[in-house]
Structures are given as C-alpha cells and as structure tokens.
Chains A and B, each alone.
Chain A
Amino acid sequence: DTGVSQDPRHKITKRGQNVTFRCDPISEHNRLYWYRQTLGQGPEFLTYFQNEAQLEKSRLLSDRFSAERPKGSFSTLEIQRTEQGDSAMYLCASSLGAGMAKNIQYFGAGTRLSVL
C-alpha cells in the first residue's frame, strides 16, 4: 500500500530563490491538500484540490505561493522569492472523496524547507 509521497524530504535554499515541491497522493484519491507547519505549531491549511480544480485557498497562500494539480494526480507547490519566514514543514495529504468514511485525510512525511 503506497502512501502519500512527497519530494524532496528536505530543501535548503537561499532567500530570494524559487522552490518547488511535489506530492503524489494515494492512488485513486481525488482530493489533495497542502498544509504548512512551523516549529511548535500544528499544521495550518493552505489549499485543496478536488481532481484538478483548486477549490479552497487559505489567506496564508500569498501571491508568492502557487499550487497546481494539472492532471488530477500529483500536485506541485511552488514558492517564489523565498523569505526566511517561509521556513517550515510543508505537508501534503489526500483523501478518497465525499462521505465521512472516504474523506479521511492521509498525510505524507512532508518537505522541510530551510531558507537561509
């Protein structure tokens, strides 16, 4: 059983650079979510997709952030002109769909971003 896969696991970048993270959801899961987690805090919701449609975005998702899920399978999260405040763990989750039994979100291991 393949879980949610995130790549890379760790990313170190310099301030001002662009970074892109990838998330592969569990097969046949049509919903995909991105969260961000800073040290000592719980995860915070960023955005979610149903298939290829981005249906909900948090105000945390500034103009420098963009997420895509072009074919309704994997997703990418890009951060442009990174700032030190972007240093965090970026988590991806997926769920099967509507209906409570199907809508449990399963998380990947995350991508830890460090902006120097």
Chain B
Amino acid sequence: DAKTTQPPSMDCAEGRAANLPCNHSTISGNEYVYWYRQIHSQGPQYIIHGLKNNETNEMASLIITEDRKSSTLILPHATLRDTAVYYCIVRVAWGGSEKLVFGKGTKLTVNP
C-alpha cells in the first residue's frame, strides 16, 4: 500500500501557482519524498525529490515540513500542459526495495 495520502483532485487557474499537498506521516528517517506526474496516456514523468530540505528545479519546488510528515509540490505558474495526475511517493534512500509504490495521486486540472 502507498504510504502517502493525497487529495483525489484539484483545480487551478492558468498562470497561478498550483500547490499540491501530500501527507506521509509514517515516513522514516531514510526515506525520500518523490513526485512524479502522468499526463494522459503517457508514462510517469519524474518531477523532483527531497529528504528534508526544500528543493527547487526548473519544473517545480518541493516544500517539506520540519517534521517531514507532509510536503507540498508547487508549480509556480501552472499552464494547461500541467494538467495531469500527480503522484507523491516515499521510498528508502538506500537498501530496501527498489520499487516505487504509487497511490492514486491527485488529478490536477488547470483551467484557462
């Protein structure tokens, strides 16, 4: 079972920031938080990952709370092409299983 909880759906206006929450209250000290997204009929696309510090790349920012029990993925200026299912995943950094355990994710709809 997935170790994360996400809202099933969210809406966002084009050009505005999209903030996608994720709860991972049972996260362990050696587990990273990953975000992927899946646009309809395509394979999942890696977005970003982090351990405890906030991270930013060209696609998004990841904000992890100090207790690491939740995180938020931020798309600073959402476009129509960001409409997708977004998956938050926790996974051990070393040792353990290699698999990614996907939940049902959040269906983000960016509206014009």
Interface residues of A (CB under 8 A from B): 4, 31, 33, 35, 40-45, 48, 55-56, 58, 91, 93, 98, 100, 103-110
Contact = CB atoms under 8 A, between A and B. Distances in A.
Interface stretch (B17-25, B74-82, B96-104): B96-104
Interface string B46-61: 1001010000000000
11 contacts: A31-B98, A40-B104, A42-B85, A43-B100, A45-B101, A93-B44, A103-B98, A105-B100, A106-B46, A107-B45, A108-B43
A58 B99 contact: yes
A105 B91 CA distance: 12
A4 B43 contact: yes
Contact of A56 (B51, B93, B98, B105): B98
Contacts of B42: 109-110
B13 interface: no
Contacts of A31: 98
Contacts, number: 53
Contact of B46 (A33, A104, A109): A104
A100 B32 contact: yes
A4 B44 CA distance: 12
Contact of B105 (A35, A42, A108): A42
Contacts of A33: 98-99
Nearest to A110: B43
Contact of B98 (A55, A91, A100, A106): A55
Contact of A104 (B2, B49, B97, B104): B49
